[in-house]
Amino acid sequence: MLTRQEIGDSMLEIVKGDITVEETESIVNAANDRLSPGGGVSGAIHRAAGPMLWQECKKHNGCATGEAKLTGGYNLKADYVIHTVGPVYSGSRDDAGKLKSCYYSSLCLASDNGIKSISFPSISTGIFGYPVREASQIALGTIIDYLKTHKEIKLVRMVLFSTGDYETYRTSLEEVLGEDL
């Protein structure tokens, strides 16, 4: 399952898959504020990368919600992991801004480090409880806005773990692009 959309000089792809086997230069981890392995996609990334990833994460002294930190990828195919901490969904107005900041900070960190391709999981929509439909619109809107003004990032992949999430993101992509017309 793959949906592709050109945004300026860059490509946005929505795929169903496992982010730990992605071959983009970087993958994003939906981390916790201590950057410890935890469960969900973070646990899977740490298992696939090996114990050296946690050793490097410890040196960062954690990460605030909405911010992002860079490490190596160790045993992953990706050279880098960008760790960002999504908001725990509370239903308050602050949630959207914090989630937007996760995507924006991760993309900025990639740009600052000359990283040209990046894969995202659906941040905050698992253990942190953010409704997928709302989250998908924030994720795609932020990525599309960024790609329009930052040509250095050539490929962004949204990697969804379930068919349902893939379909939700695909529908949201059409809506977000429709708003721009």
**Binding positions for ligand AR6, rule: CB under 6 A:** 18-20, 30-32, 38-42, 44, 86, 121-128, 159, 161, 165
Nearer to ligand AR6, 128 or 146 (CB): 128
- Residue 61's contacts (CB-CB under 8 Å, 6 or more residues apart) are none
- Residues 168, 162: Cα–Cα separation, whole Å: 10
Hey, what are 147's tokens? 């790609």
Residue 34: exposure state from Cβ atoms within 10 A (0-12, 13-18, ≥19): middle
- Residues 97, 118: Cα–Cα separation, whole Å: 21
Nearer to ligand AR6, 151 or 163 (CB): 163
Q: Are 159 and 15 in contact (CB under 8 A)?
A: yes
Nearer to ligand AR6, 79 or 150 (CB): 79
Nearer to ligand AR6, 15 or 150 (CB): 15
